[in-house]
Amino acid sequence: MNRVAIIGATGYAGAELVRILSGHPETVLTVLTSRQYAGVRFDRVYPAMAGLVDIVCEEYSADRICNEADIVFMALPHQLPMAFVPDIIKHGLKVIDLSADFRFNDVAVYESAYQPHTAKELLKSCVYGLSEIYTDQIRTAQLIGNPGCYPTSVLLPLIPLIKQGLLDPATLVADAKSGVSGAGRSLSQASHYCEVNESFKAYKVAAHRHNPEMDSILSREAQKPVSITFVPHLVPMTRGMLTTIYATPAAALNVQDIVDCYTSFYSRRPFIRLCPTDGQPDTLHVRGTNYCDIGFKLDDRNNRLILISVIDNLLKGAAGQAVQNMNLMMGFDETAGLLHVSYPL
């Protein structure tokens, strides 16, 4: 069994990692850290895990983690992982970071959206963990930068079409809606019940820090500079994300062209599901799962392709994809621990 440490285990993404990995057939949880709940049993923080995970949360200790783990998940806010990861990497452990600290190979792009980077030497070798796109690189990586939830929902429907030259990259507009858990577990006025309930609003319009992440990957896949217009919204539900993307076809395009492109690109990828052409994705159908459902509509009257994707922002948008990346890195079955289906109601 491979030993796993989760740094930041009591945040929303960290808790999802604990939930998934507590039943993973190839791993055993050995260390859970939490600054706020050090000395407290995990199942006291999350009573839903009673009888399943009784590990006591502890303060971060590099020596303990390096002695007790083979794989480390960093489920911490941006800026903290870059301080911890270099020591862990030096000890030969594999690391999957759920923050933005290792999503960029170009330090200037990272620093333009976040803050000065203190582990620049690792950026050239880190791999962007979009599981279905960079599978081969992930299999041989030691350090993975797990994608953001919004980029996952935007990139998965776009990349196959961009790579095949079916879309004009200069025309991309993405409109995305996220549940409140995307803001994390820390208290803030923006995620207070009274601020969110009965409310639906856009925020950080054309200024969200996931925008450079999407631009960077889209430019890589299009092999030329791409800048997508991105508008995120907050909806009054706990979890789930729906993204609608508008693009102009690069040439004459029909429904079968799009179906063939997706079918060819994702035919052997278990967590991508293409909706029937007479239906569209629904966040209800991916809740609590690692699936990304993709639908589309050709608007012939306006010469526009409309793409719609749905994910669970805490699973495919965070912890689920992180475990999928671990499975690839370690040579496990890609679906190990992840074959959950959503409740039908």
Query: Residue 194's pLDDT band (boundaries 50, 70, 90)?
Result: confident
Q: Within the chain, what is the greatest distance between any pair of CA atoms?
A: 63
Report d(CA 204, CA 232) in Å as an integer: 7
In this predicted model, what pLDDT tens digit does every residue of 197-237 receive, in sequence order?
Answer: 888 999 999 999 999 999 999 999 999 999 999 999 999 99
- pLDDT attached to residue 44: 97
Q: Which of 101, 110, 64 is nearest to 83 (CA)?
A: 101
DSSP states of 155-202 as a string?
Answer: HHHHHHHHHTT-B-GGG-EEEEEE-GGGG-SS--GGGSHHHHTT--EE
Structure tokens at 123: 């950026």
Sign, CA torsion 56/57/59/61: positive
pLDDT, average across residues 13-29: 97
Burial 20-39 (b: 16+ CB within 10 A, else e): bbbebebbebbbbbbeebee
Q: Enter the pTM of the model.
A: 0.96
Q: Please confirm, yes or no, whether 57 is among the known catalytic residues.
A: no
Query: Residue 53's pLDDT band (boundaries 50, 70, 90)?
Result: very high
Q: What is the DSSP letter of 240?
A: -
Q: What is the residue type of 244? A: T
Contact 69, 30 (CB under 8 A): yes
- The alpha-helical segments, DSSP class H, found in 55-148 are 62-68, 81-90, 107-113, 135-139
Number of alpha carbons in the 13 Å side-chain half-sphere of residue 127: 24
Q: What is the residue type of 240? A: G
| Dihedral angle of Cα 273, 275, 280, 283, to the nearest 10 degrees | -20
Contact 176, 149 (CB under 8 A): no
- pLDDT attached to residue 187: 62
Report d(CA 147, CA 181) in Å as an integer: 16
- pLDDT attached to residue 201: 93
Lowest mean pLDDT among 69-83, 138-152, 188-202: 188-202
In this predicted model, what pLDDT tens digit does every residue of 258-315 receive, in sequence order?
Answer: 999 999 999 999 999 999 988 999 999 999 999 999 999 999 999 999 999 999 999 9
In this predicted model, what pLDDT tens digit does every residue of 77-87 receive, in sequence order?
Answer: 999 999 999 99
Query: Phi and psi for 242 in degrees, rounded to 5?
Result: -125, 130
The catalytic position among 57, 66, 126, 149 is 149
Mean pLDDT, the chain, as a whole number?
Answer: 95
Task: Please give the order of strands across the beta sheet that includes 201-202.
Answer: 201-202, 229-234, 173-178, 241-247, 304-311, 292-299, 272-274
pLDDT of residue 184 exceeding 90, the answer is no
